[in-house]
Structure 1
């Protein structure tokens, strides 16, 4: 047995994005016609029109631009907002499916009890959590080397146990989270060729926050990706770190945990 449900988005407690409506929007994008899209889903032409009106009314921007008339019942196309809405729903749906899969694995259907609810909603203290995609997995009997790609197309490597790969169900092309503590991130002003740490991510210093003994360094590695490092105040002063300076975040592959 397993858990299963569809994802519905609400606006002011009113359902406006259901799985069937998303299929309608996808069909409109493909067919360029409401009548053809309605047949593809399938649903009646009237229901399709009502669904589009409802979506347009409940969204802050127009999702579908309609043209009435003609033998085919009029043309239609998605706006840029509508296309982005489909993409966002698809991402949410994937995460929703992951959650249900995890919930299934944690439930003992023989007794009807949840093995560990805390594991479902667990939050961790590690400051750095980056969305990455698995590019390569190299395994032996004990350990595995996982090559990852960040949103900014920089490469990272995580070394975890082979058992962890199996437990997490990791596969090439999976989108997962790379997790590492801020005090495990070293800062270098050059790429340190020959240095044993395999991960050297290039970034620009966004902020520097000094305390009596330490310095929090926030690096921007892309427009929407940041890494936080906590080093000693003395080290920051010796490196003469400045906001806007290009530096490298250096992280050992054994310090990068993975989660999905």
Structure 2
């Protein structure tokens, strides 16, 4: 068998999917170079929406925002990396160099391994990877656990201003080995999130995240609305296009995204 060389395309994954990849790092690098999400997306290349989706995911999973919107200027504003974002890029590229070095050493020894089936190994790695269709992915720390018969109420601190609650079964809580202080991931489908622009409205929904509309992607029937929280995290919901017009939902409008605790799915590391 001829020697096989692996090329480093490093991906840092979490239990809820890919957090960092070469594509996302290149997007961050282009944002640093261009100062524009539109030009950065074209350079990668990615669609404008895919680029913002990637940024929202990274900002939500990171302890600090990696990208921020900047207001003002001749072009009316733009985007830029935070200092934390620059450190993330530098660390990723440093790890990538070490990763490639390790892969090169492995490649040089493949001929010495008897019975090695590289393709079978690759298929195994592929089957073990997991992705999620949930639009909203939050990383946070458990701050409260309350037993309610067969259910558990789990409180997760997202940032200094926001905490969300999830209701899961006792069996699920035990399987996830939940404990105060443990980091978990909270997944919420965008279709489970509702939106209100009424500041004084009273809601029965356990989870209420207030912020400012950052983006609206219009569709013929439904529109996707992204709400930016004060911490830099975002939450996305699907609202009918007619409702968007009725509520006057557009970038800059203050709004509240709310969802039931039973709509939150939790995931954790072993």
- Shorter chain as normaliser: what TM range? 0.5 to 0.7
Paired residues of 1:127 and 1:181 also in contact (CA < 8 A): yes
User: Counterpart in 2 of 1:235?
Assistant: 243
1:190 offset after TM fit, Å? 2.9
Specify whether residues 118 and 144 from structure 1 end up closer, same or farther in structure 2 by C-alpha distance, changes over 3 A only.
farther
Aligned pair partner of 1:159 in 144, 163, 167: 167
- Per the alignment, residue 206 of structure 2 pairs with 198
Q: 1:119 to 1:186 in 2, by over 3 A?
A: farther
Kept in 2, the 8 Å contact 1:203–1:219? The answer is yes
Alignment partners' CA distance in 2, 1:239 and 1:259: 34
Within the candidate set 220, 234, 246, 1:226 is matched to 234
Structure (1 or 2) with the larger CA radius of gyration = 1
Shift in Å at residue 117 of structure 1? 6.8
Q: TM-score, normalised by structure 2?
A: 0.52
Matches within 5 A, 1:165-204: 165-190=173-198, 194-204=202-212
Q: Secondary structure at the match of 2:161?
A: coil
- Select the residue among 212, 217, 228 that pairs with 1:209: 217
1:73-115 superposed Cα distances (whole Å, 9 cap, x missing partner): xxxxxxx99xx78xx89xx9xxxxxxxxxxxxxxxxxxxxxxx
Measured against aligned partners, the alpha-carbon deviations of 1:189-236 in whole angstroms (never above 9, x if no partner) come to 135654221111011111111111111101111454111111111111
Query: Taking structure 1 as reference, are residues 139 and 118 closer, same or farther at Cα in structure 2, changes over 3 Å only?
Result: farther
| Equivalence for 1:251 | 259
Which stretches of structure 1, 4 residues or more, deviate above 6 A after TM superposition? 116-119
**Structure 1 residues not aligned, in runs of 5+:** 1-10, 14-79, 93-115
Q: Is the 8 A contact 2:134 2:189 kept in 1?
A: yes
- Aligned to 1:238, the other structure's residue is in SS state helix
What is the count of residue pairs matched by the alignment?
155
SS of residue matched to 1:145: strand
Cα RMSD (Å) of the superposition?
Answer: 3.0
From the superposition, tell whether residues 12 and 159 of structure 1 become closer, same or farther in structure 2 (CA, over 3 Å): closer
SS in 2 for 1:156: strand
